[in-house]
Structures are given as C-alpha cells and as structure tokens.
Amino acid sequence: MKVLTLLIYALFLVLPFGQLERLPQPYPGVNLYLHDLVIAAIVCLWSITGLKKLKPPPLARPLLWFTAAALASLLPALFRHPPNQILVGSLYLVRFVFYSCLYFVFSDPALVKNLRLKPANLLLVFGLSLVGLGLFQYLFFPDVRFLAASGWDDHFYRVISSLFDPNFTGLIYLFSLILLFFHQKKLQPLVYSSATAAVLIGLLLTYSRSSYLALLAAAAVYSIIKRKSRVFLVAASCVLLAFLLLPRPGGEGVNLLRTFSIGQRLTNYRQGLTLWRQHPVLGAGFNLVRYQPAAVTDPGKDLSHAAAGYDASLIFVLATTGLIGLAAYLNLLVKACSLSPLAQVSLAAALTHSLFTNSLFYPWVMIWLFCLFTFKNPLHNNL
C-alpha cells in the first residue's frame, strides 16, 4: 500500500509538466508520456492488492459497455487497415482503459483513507501548478511561435502553460475553478480568494473562447442546481470584461472576434459525419481517423499533434465507434452526471468545451474527470 501511495503522489507530481513529460516516440503516431507509465504501474499494483475487495462503483458497467463498443469497432477495421494501423488505434484504447481504471482506484475507500493528501487536494495541486506555470510563461515567454517548428500552433501573448495549448489549458483551469468553488468552505479564505483570482486570470489570458463558453455553461448549470442566478451573472460579467479589457498585443490569436476558425471547424464536422455515414453502426474504428481518406480527414494534420480525432468529441465517438459506441458513451455521461453536483457542473463545462475541441479524450482531461467522478462517495472523504 505504501508503494501504491507513493506512485499516486508521483502521478500528480508529473502531471503539471504537461507536454514536457512526453517520452521519445516509440512508433510514429504514438505519444507516450511519463504519467502513462505511472498510471500503468498504479493500476497493475492496485489490481493485485485492492481489486478483489472493491464493490463495483456506479460507472463500472457503463465504462465496460463503451470499452466493448470501442473494441468492437476495431474488429471490422482489421479488414480495411494493415496491422500497424490497428495497433496504433488499439494502443489509444489501452490508454483509455488504464485512465478509466483510475476511477476504480480512487473508488477504493481503503486506499483513499491512507492518502494524507486526498484526491481533491491532489487535483488542486495539479491545477494550481499548471496555473503557476502558465502565468510564468505568459510573463516571461509570451511569444511561443517557435513551437510551430515542432507541430504546435504558433501562439503569441496567450497562456498555453506546459500543455502548449490555450484551449486545453483553459479547460483544466476551469476545472480547478469549479473544484475550488465547491470546496471553498474547506479552505482558508485567503487561500481560496488568492487561488481563485490566479486561476481566473490565467483562464482569461488563454483567450480561449471555448473555455469562456464552458465557464458560462458551468455557471448556468450551477445556478440552476443551486438556484443562485448570481453565479451566472458573475461569470457572464467576467467574460464580458475579458472581451472589453483584455490586452490586444497583436496577432489573430488574441482577437476574441476572430472568425477564421469557424469555417475550419464546420469542415471538420462535415468530414466526421461523412465518415460516420460510411460506417454507421460500428464506426470506422476507434482512433483510426488519421488513416482515413482525405475526403473525411485532414491529411496535413498527420504532421501536427491533432491528427487522431475530430474537433467535436461526440462526432469523434460517432465516426469511430458508430451508433453503438455513441449510445454507450452517452450512457456513460448520463450516469456520470447523476453522481454529484460537482460532476454535473464539471461535465457541463467539458461537454460545452468538447463541441469545439476533442477535449473529452484529451489525456489530462480524462485523468481529471475519472478522479473527479469518485468525489462525494459516501464511503470516503475526498478533501
């Protein structure tokens, strides 16, 4: 148990390093991170020590059904793709399985009881560390256009933090803001106000409109659940002030009224739906988007870090796993929404964000959500 505890602490120690913890690629198209190895070690060790004692948590069956649907989508793809391409797709499914196993690990009350830093605290450490790195990057390295040579977007005066992407960074910041808000009574007032201010400033400086919309969606859901319209009004005021007062040092990325990406996303959506119509029941194969014809994907993306999916997560699920996979995934989301108000608000943010970026399958987002889904478990305290 002590080794397992140390591995869990190690996981949240390496997560804030983001893309800096990427390991040398063992195979073209495969990204391997240090946290992948840590998670694999955690899951394997916990499977030996704690799996037999754990009662199946609420999401066990929905996770099993979606995993089965994703696996089934790869079977007919065996006749359309060479083995090396199937291998890449199956590795992505293996990653999803290991990440989802974190939900079972943190549902183990005996394990959580032995953690001095509870899961919510660990997530906050991760999120706030990412905020600190992002603000440091914005102040001292605002021009990161040199990263374009490595396949990343060329950003100028935007917070990208160690994830090298303002949109995904913005969503993790928003998750941190939501978690802080739900646990404010358990934090010292000065700690809470300082952390909230830092996270909000970092979120606004990402200039990520998908994150702004996700903030509004999360605030709206919270206001409905708690019947406190003031929360939504405050969030809307922050977004409005961002449009009015944020600095515009130059470049299209900080132009919040930019329209060039709208046409690109609409084309991307059409490509995903076109691919689904070709394989409506089981899809084209989980994570095999990069190997599809140019008519249903962007061949230029194979050189970037965004080649494996479509801009909308649900379109990605539909195109790659078909109607069966989409039904299984929606069932998973519905069950997750019933877990707690915290899960509902966080999923409202994630789903809104995922309309514009494939954020539901982004590694750091999946890790956050699978840990978060265990919160409010009556069997243990998470903070």
Tens-place pLDDT, residues 164-215: 999 999 999 999 999 999 998 888 999 999 999 999 999 999 999 999 999 9
> Per the structure block, which two tokens stand in for 186?
């358990």
Kindly write down the DSSP assignment for every residue of 310-374, as one continuous string: -SSHHHHHHHHHHHHHHHHHHHHHHHHHTS-HHHHHHHHHHHHHTTTS-GGG-HHHHHHHHHHTT
> Per the structure block, which two tokens stand in for 340?
């707690």
pLDDT at position 300 is: 45
The answer to whether residue 26 scores a pLDDT higher than 80 is no
The answer to whether residue 30 scores a pLDDT higher than 50 is yes
Q: What is the C-alpha end-to-end distance of the chain, expressed in Å?
A: 20
In the chain, the percentage of residues whose pLDDT exceeds 70 is 92
251 contacts 294 by C-beta, under 8 angstroms = no
Nearest to 202, CA basis, from 214, 213, 192, 211: 211
pLDDT at position 294 is: 64
Confidence class for position 295, pLDDT limits 50, 70, 90: low
- Whether the CA torsion 24, 26, 32, 34 is positive or negative: it is negative
Rounded Cα distance, 55 and 122, in Å: 24
pLDDT at position 299 is: 46
367 contacts 15 by C-beta, under 8 angstroms = yes
Cα angle for residues 84, 93, 261 (degrees, 5° grid):
90
178 contacts 132 by C-beta, under 8 angstroms = no
37 contacts 46 by C-beta, under 8 angstroms = no
- Whether the CA torsion 283, 288, 291, 295 is positive or negative: it is positive
**What is the rounded average pLDDT for all residues in the chain?**
90
The answer to whether residue 131 scores a pLDDT higher than 50 is yes
| Pairwise pLDDT comparison (328 vs 27), residue with the higher score | 328
The answer to whether residue 255 scores a pLDDT higher than 80 is no
Rounded Cα distance, 111 and 9, in Å: 12
In the chain, the percentage of residues whose pLDDT exceeds 90 is 68
Rounded Cα distance, 165 and 195, in Å: 21
Q: What is the DSSP letter of 143?
A: B
The answer to whether residue 150 scores a pLDDT higher than 70 is yes
The answer to whether residue 377 scores a pLDDT higher than 60 is no
Q: Which letter, b or e, does each residue of 84-94 get, where b requires 16 or more Cβ atoms within 10 Å of its Cβ?
A: ebbebbbbbbe
Q: What is the DSSP letter of 20?
A: G
Cα angle for residues 348, 331, 88 (degrees, 5° grid):
90
What's 183-196 look like in SS3?
Answer: CHHHCCHHHHHHHH
Enclosing H/E stretch for 63? helix 60-77
Confidence class for position 291, pLDDT limits 50, 70, 90: confident
168 contacts 143 by C-beta, under 8 angstroms = no
The answer to whether residue 302 scores a pLDDT higher than 50 is no
The answer to whether residue 29 scores a pLDDT higher than 70 is no
The per-type count for the chain, helices as H runs and strands as E runs, is: 14, 2
Beta bridge partners of 156: 143
Report phi then psi at 33, rounded to 5: -115, 160
Neighbour tally for 277: CB within 10 Å: 10
What is the Cα Rg of the chain in Å? 20
What's the farthest any 2 CA atoms get from each other in the chain? 60
Confidence class for position 346, pLDDT limits 50, 70, 90: very high
The answer to whether residue 228 scores a pLDDT higher than 90 is no
- pTM of the complete model beyond 0.85: yes
Q: Which letter, b or e, does each residue of 33-71 get, where b requires 16 or more Cβ atoms within 10 Å of its Cβ?
A: bbbbebbeebbeebeeebeeebeebbbbebbebbbebbe
